[in-house]
Structure 1
């Protein structure tokens, strides 16, 4: 880690995907970028799915597991495109639970602009959509205005500092910004990015939040996804950033090297080549599992003992 003394143990990976596209149906083309949450000992996964029968860029499917590795899929999606801002797809969920309510951030895509959206649920199956979080965002992506994605919420209020008593969220998919909220529904953003690409590192093109942020004694931990050019080839890899507990805009440590990168054939060749993209994290039976999309087609697991 840069600027800190934290030592991150190496991740182990399963060599095969744990979930692949179905033969038919809403997840028959690609299945990837999963959120996970643990409920009464069961791992609940919410994943992005694409069908070979249409050009919708995402529906959200559900799968359940007792051991964290073998999942049973629900036969129908639990979230589908409905509104104008998401008519082409609902994508890339991240889920936290606060009190008795589940909060899902996801990307709504209208065919031109990606917008960070929110939905809430009491049971992980029936979701109430809360709409776009930031109608206007002053930092275009590739010339497209009001583009926002990838919200990683810290599911507890900060106890000290400028944001005392507020929830925070890291979001963005070129740089990473910070947003804050009193109620987890209405959010305000800070205009200065808190994490940016680094010219000569693995994350030299873009950075994007991974799973929900979590609190440790030494700071707020954000596992992040990134893209970088390597010998002219674009590769997606993951890193870790740590922010100050009292000032969540202040970066105090960051990975010098990626914690996860494409190595297996199913991570290297797929719908988008050379991608590992983490969105889910859960502790289960003595392991910390990280769930990720491989080449935008499969779902894999990496873990720390």
Structure 2
């Protein structure tokens, strides 16, 4: 049986000495407690970020910082404030921050860009993943909703929802995605950056039904669906240290070459005593293969170690957690914005070529 203590062949480096790249703001009621699980869109084309800078009305100093950095990362992050007695819940909303490609903060908007008001996410807009298609940025996210707002005993729904934008400020809410994926509670949806064999592919993780709590994949002719499940893509390994383990998608897979993709994802575990741990892992997918596209896996790639990863907001009590909804390539590095203990946003990087070589040599 596997052990979680096996060291990874390639070790990620925590950026900025392990300090958070984004923290809550006490003066903003909607994000006063925690910020976590961000989507990220790296924008390096000068004409595109200039267009966005005009739309965002960025100060000159922010524009200079972006120009000097060679691009901007639009970070669409999940935020929670105080408990709302009307909802019997602390709703999650999405905020927007702009960072350099190496995750230095440039500018932060003081308001949520997607609020928890639609009936399909009236309890929370959660865990977005962003994929750019042409001039449109699509975010697949978890819509957390109740049939009767204010009734803590009313049934809850957890659905994969879709929103799109061209500027990260004005959003079209498409609602729960059409097709069969929302027949059970479902989450962790991440769109591939390009079609494979003429079909769009989507990672997701059903919470019930056959092969629940593993990474599944689905296909569609259009980004907006309807989506049809292709079943399980990756099961979880078992570990001697844990009574239960599961996995789910991180950010959208990164396109490499020859129909290959790098996938950063998360592992969740419960110990025999009931304690929780979330790690980051990596897999290499090759769709030129005729059998399974999974070439190799590294589990774990990164475990909670720093204080901000092992201990989070004391009232929420979500400790020992690394969770990511994004990864992108920058100067030969895979940059991973991630949340520590569901409370703060951090960054890590790992060199691409050694990681891919290690995955090619890893067994499935």
Per the normalisation by structure 2, the TM-score is 0.73
How many residues are matched? 289
Residue of structure 1 in register with 2:303 after alignment: 261
SS at match of 1:151: strand
Q: 1:252 to 1:46 in 2, by over 3 A?
A: same
Which one has a bigger Cα radius of gyration? 2
Taking the aligned partners of 1:36 and 1:186, their CA distance within structure 2 comes to 22
SS at match of 2:120: helix
SS at match of 1:186: coil
Q: How does 1:6-155 map to 2 (within 5 A)?
A: 9-14=10-15, 15-25=18-28, 26-40=30-44, 41-52=71-82, 54=84, 55-71=89-105, 72-111=107-146, 112-134=156-178, 136-137=180-181, 146-155=184-193
1:180 aligns with 2:181: no
1:35-93 Cα offsets, whole Å, 9 max, x none, are 11122411110000001253333100000123532223210011112322211000001
**CA shift for structure 1 position 246:** 4.0
Q: 1:10 to 1:264 in 2, by over 3 A?
A: same
Taking the aligned partners of 2:298 and 2:193, their CA distance within structure 1 comes to 27
Match of 2:325 among 275, 279, 287: 279
Q: 1:282 to 1:244 in 2, by over 3 A?
A: closer
> Is the CA contact 1:34–1:48 (under 8 Å) kept in the aligned structure 2?
yes
SS at match of 1:125: coil
Per the normalisation by structure 1, the TM-score is 0.86
Q: Could you list the runs of 5+ residues in structure 2 that have no partner in the other structure?
A: 3-7, 45-70, 147-155, 207-212, 352-364
Match of 2:204 among 162, 165, 171: 171
**CA shift for structure 1 position 193:** 1.1
Q: How does 1:193-272 map to 2 (within 5 A)?
A: 193-200=232-239, 204-217=244-257, 219-230=260-271, 232=273, 233-246=275-288, 250-270=292-312, 271=316, 272=318
> Is the CA contact 1:206–1:226 (under 8 Å) kept in the aligned structure 2?
yes
Taking the aligned partners of 1:202 and 1:85, their CA distance within structure 2 comes to 38
> Is the CA contact 2:180–2:229 (under 8 Å) kept in the aligned structure 1?
no
> Is the CA contact 2:144–2:158 (under 8 Å) kept in the aligned structure 1?
yes
The worse-fitting range, judged by mean Cα deviation, of 67-76 and 106-115 is 67-76
Taking the aligned partners of 2:203 and 2:21, their CA distance within structure 1 comes to 28
Q: Could you list the runs of 5+ residues in structure 1 that have no partner in the other structure?
A: 139-144, 159-163
User: Between Structure 1 and Structure 2, which shows a larger proportion of helix residues?
Assistant: 2
**CA shift for structure 1 position 281:** 1.4
The worse-fitting range, judged by mean Cα deviation, of 104-113 and 227-236 is 227-236
**CA shift for structure 1 position 286:** 4.9
How large is the RMSD of aligned CA atoms in angstroms?
Answer: 2.4
Taking the aligned partners of 1:300 and 1:130, their CA distance within structure 2 comes to 30
> Is the CA contact 1:239–1:254 (under 8 Å) kept in the aligned structure 2?
no
1:155-175 Cα offsets, whole Å, 9 max, x none, are 1111xxxxx211111111611
Q: 1:85 to 1:67 in 2, by over 3 A?
A: closer
SS at match of 2:188: coil
1:256-296 Cα offsets, whole Å, 9 max, x none, are 43111100111111131110001121233553310001000
